[in-house]
Amino acid sequence: MSVLFLTYCYPPLKYPRSVQISHLVQYLKDYVHITIICSEAKKNTDKSLLSFTPLDNVVIAKKTWWTSFIENIKGDRIKKAILPDSQYLWSFDLYQKALEEIKKGKIQTIVSFGQPMSSHLAGLRLKKRFPNLKWVAHFSDPWIDNPYNEYNAWLRFMNKKYQDQVFSVADKLLFTSPETIDTVTKSYSIKIQNKASYLPHAFNPLLYSTITKVDSEAFTLRYLGNFYGDRKPDPLLKALCYLKDKSVLANKIRVELVGVDSDIQCLINKYQLESLVYVKPAISYLDSLALMVQTDLLLIIDAPTKRNVFFPSKLADYIGSNRPIFGITPPGTSQKIIESLGFLTASPDNPEEVASKLFEMIEQVRINAIHMNKDVREQYAVNVIGNEIRRIL
């Protein structure tokens, strides 16, 4: 089988999407012939990704002079004015490059990956032109139901129109959590709901095989990744204020926020946690995996919503590290996954609960009384997820 992957993100671009697609390609390349069409990596790159990413059969869809010209003269305004995201114009360049590959007569299936959702618009145009090709649309996040999207009435109308077309024309829709499927398909017909399948993020066990755990004097808690929108460190910092009074605990733990914006330091100062919480700069992906393995307790912090539908890709990396995980997360995807692994979660709306559960987790980890459920962990290994997408293809 010959498959065409359409994606803006692919190594060395430093996006979580790049890593996840790389994992799938690494597994699938022994079973299907994959051609990846992606964007040109000019900035925001991570060369460590190239050490494990298959780079044969990668085709770059460069931005035409017209695409670059419009983006340059509009600047940041284009991000708010264009549909459905800042890569809308590039999706036409992606379409043209894909057209060249399809005309060679080998491609049987197209898989488009969003974010950005504009990649699906290229898939939509190709499916309409070549209706005999199978088209799978993969979503790492909800589209119009994403709470982080700031749509006015016009943008919401247009994106709903695009989403309706993609859902209607695609042969298969893949989402990273059952909660996302429920949220985005509830208003659609049974026919479209039946197209939707669950394909979670994966970890690659081989990337952890050479990393060893290094013991340190302080009990180390780490959060890796940035904060944005309503996802903020405040629930953790407020909880640590409660724990700070437990002098035996506070003197022997160290909390690191790795890869966050430097202005987080102002919040740390506000809560007077300078001797407990430390901000660390962003590091390469492989270095981040090493830090995960060498951490006593990993932290997930989600935005305070009624129901969380997101499966953070870093949670898959955390699972791969085989280290204990504590989730500050509302009911929903992360909470269900973390608790199924055998660990604790608490709502970001309740700092006292966060403090209590966090203290309990720390004490259990210290006496080696809590471990990751191996059977559940295996469900997120790339060979399992790869077999599933292979079956779908």
pLDDT tens for 86-141 read 888 899 999 999 999 999 988 999 999 998 999 999 999 999 999 999 999 999 99
Place of tokens 């990751």: 372
What is the maximum span of the chain, computed from C-alpha positions, in angstroms?
69
pLDDT classification of 196: cutoffs 50, 70, 90: very high
For the segment 320-372, what is each residue's pLDDT rounded down to a tens digit?
999 999 999 999 999 999 999 999 999 999 999 999 999 999 999 989 999 99
Give this prediction's pTM.
0.93
CA 325 to CA 313: how far, in whole Å? 14
- Concatenating the DSSP letter of every residue in 173-224 gives EEES-HHHHHHHHTTS-HHHHTTEEE----B-GGGGTT------SSEEEEEE
CATH 3.30.1490.20 applies to domain 2-199: no
Instruction: Write down the mean pLDDT value for the chain.
Output: 91
Annotated domain spans of the chain: 2-199, 206-376
For the segment 50-79, what is each residue's pLDDT rounded down to a tens digit?
999 989 899 999 988 888 877 776 655 555
The CA distances from residue 56 to 26, 35, 42, 62, in Å, are: 11, 8, 19, 17
CATH 3.40.50.2000 applies to domain 206-376: yes
**pLDDT for res 105:** 84
**pLDDT for res 75:** 56
Bond from prior residue into 116 cis (ω within 30 degrees of 0): yes
Out of 199-208, 268-277, 329-338, pick the least confident: 268-277
For the segment 139-168, what is each residue's pLDDT rounded down to a tens digit?
999 999 988 887 888 888 889 999 999 999
SS3 letters for 238-288?
Answer: HHHHHHHCCHHHHCCEEEEEECCCCCHHHHHHHCCCCCCEEEECCCCHHHH
Same fold, 2-199 and 206-376: yes
What percent of the chain shows pLDDT beyond 70?
95
Q: Identify whether the C-beta of residue 38 lies closer than 8 Å to the C-beta of residue 60.
A: yes
For the segment 369-383, what is each residue's pLDDT rounded down to a tens digit?
999 999 999 999 999
For residue 247, is pLDDT > 70? no
Terminal C-alpha separation, the chain:
9
What percent of the chain shows pLDDT beyond 90?
73
For residue 213, is pLDDT > 80? no
Helices (H) then strands (E): counts for the chain:
17, 13
